[in-house]
Amino acid sequence: MEPISIEIEKPEDPIRVKQYPISLEGRQGLKPIIDDLIKKGILEPCMSRHNTPILAIRKTDGSYRLVQDLRAVNERTKTRFPVVANPYTLLNRVSPGDVCYSVIDLKDAFWTCPLAEGSRDYFAFQWEDPDTNRKQQLRWASLPQGFVDSPNLFGQALEQLLSKFSPGEGTKILQYVDDLLIAGPKEKEVRDCTISLLNFLGEKGLKVSKSKLQFTEPEVKYLGHWIKKGKRKLDPKRVAGIIELPPPRNKRQVRQLLGLLGYCRQWIEGYSEKVKFLYEKLTTEKVKWTEHDERELKQLKEALIAAPVLSLPDVNKQF
């Protein structure tokens, strides 16, 4: 893929946010990750005018995850116009005649997109080695996770790459950022297309998550939907996650709830009217939750529980 350039507001003013304290245990947990990324050329030493902090996030299995707080960079970034596909429009390309599917989830996808040399310093951070206590600056040589434009930029780069791949007659490929769906009416055609696509992606340096690969199946999970024989239904886990949410106590939680419900709007009859009370909460100074609001939210959750199975449109027929 071609190197990607990033533009920020007032590039002459450095972005400087002091590094947060990280415990010795946290730095020891991050060390093998950072050493591996340096070895692969994804991270590289630098002396940058810019700096934003990293965090050591402890996972449930006891290991650590490297996270960089890029909010200061995101605020200054001149973002591109987003061209990420609408999931609903995208899924309309799957027809009732498509009865076999594969789903490919790309692994560490952003890191396959190189950053242009002139853009790398924006993503620098300070690292203190737990063994030597030596401090140095490192920067990303590839698109970092947590950067506001990474999904959009990677999605466009992958779309351009996929334009060079021919799925073959009878099959189609759908792309949503780094999630790919192969669909077709015949199992052999879908299997052959999936194998060819996996080889093509491998030749281009892209890696696939084996644990998330769904290979030539009659039913698959894609973008929070289960798809089977031209029909789709909501993922029960997604529904359960919304049902278990407590009432929102502030505007941030209201927006979060609206985002989750908006993803399911096709399954909620009269959606716009039913969520109006939530939008009204965003116009007040503080969120005050009433018994009436509780009843309205309960009705929304009940509508999700009773969500029907939706048929995908047949684009070959007149509407």
| Total tally of structural domains belonging to the chain | 3
32 and 126 share a domain?
A: yes
Q: What is the CATH number of the domain that holds 279?
A: 3.30.70
In a domain, 93, yes or no: yes
- Please report, in angstroms and rounded to a whole number, the separation of the first and last CA atoms in the chain: 40
106 and 201 share a domain?
A: yes
In a domain, 10, yes or no: no
d(CA 220, CA 217): 6
In a domain, 17, yes or no: no
243 and 291 share a domain?
A: yes
In a domain, 13, yes or no: no
Token pair 């890191």 is found at: 111
242 and 299 share a domain?
A: yes
Of 222, 253, 283, which closes a domain? 222
For 144, other C-beta atoms within 10 Å of its C-beta total 23
In a domain, 11, yes or no: no
Strand spans (E) along the chain: 43-46, 54-58, 64-68, 100-107, 124-128, 135-140, 172-176, 179-184, 207-208, 214-217, 219-222, 225-228, 231-234, 310-311
119 and 103 share a domain?
A: no
Of 167, 195, 222, which closes a domain? 222
191, 216 Cβ separation under 8 angstroms: yes
Strand spans (E) along 63-209: 64-68, 100-107, 124-128, 135-140, 172-176, 179-184, 207-208
Q: What is the CATH number of the domain that holds 60?
A: 3.10.10.10
101 and 199 share a domain?
A: yes
- Please report, as a single letter, which amino acid is at residue 101: Y
In a domain, 116, yes or no: yes
Which class for 252: exposed (0-12), middle (13-18), buried (19 or more C-beta within 10 A)? exposed
Per-residue pLDDT tens listing for the chain (319 residues)? 789 999 999 999 999 999 999 999 999 999 999 999 999 999 999 999 999 999 999 999 999 999 999 999 999 999 887 766 777 678 878 888 899 999 999 998 899 999 999 999 999 999 999 999 999 999 999 999 999 999 889 988 899 999 999 988 889 999 988 999 999 999 999 999 999 999 999 999 899 999 999 999 999 999 888 898 878 888 888 888 888 989 999 999 999 999 888 878 888 888 999 999 999 999 988 999 999 999 999 999 988 888 766 555 554 555 4
- Give the structural domain span for 277: 233-305
In a domain, 7, yes or no: no
Q: What is the CATH number of the domain that holds 92?
A: 3.30.70.270
What is the pTM (predicted TM-score) of this model?
A: 0.76
298-305 own/partner pairs: CB under 8 Å, 24+ apart: 299/274, 300/261, 300/268, 300/274, 300/275, 301/242, 301/243, 303/267, 303/268, 303/269, 303/274, 304/234, 304/239, 304/242, 304/243, 304/264, 304/267, 304/268, 305/239, 305/243
The 8-class DSSP code of residue 243 comes to H
4, 114 Cβ separation under 8 angstroms: yes
For 189-244, what is each residue's pLDDT tens digit?
Answer: 999 999 999 999 999 989 999 999 999 999 999 988 889 887 888 888 888 888 89
For 50-73, what is each residue's pLDDT tens digit?
Answer: 999 999 999 999 999 999 999 999
In a domain, 295, yes or no: yes
d(CA 274, CA 292): 12
154 and 217 share a domain?
A: yes
41 and 102 share a domain?
A: no
117 and 199 share a domain?
A: no
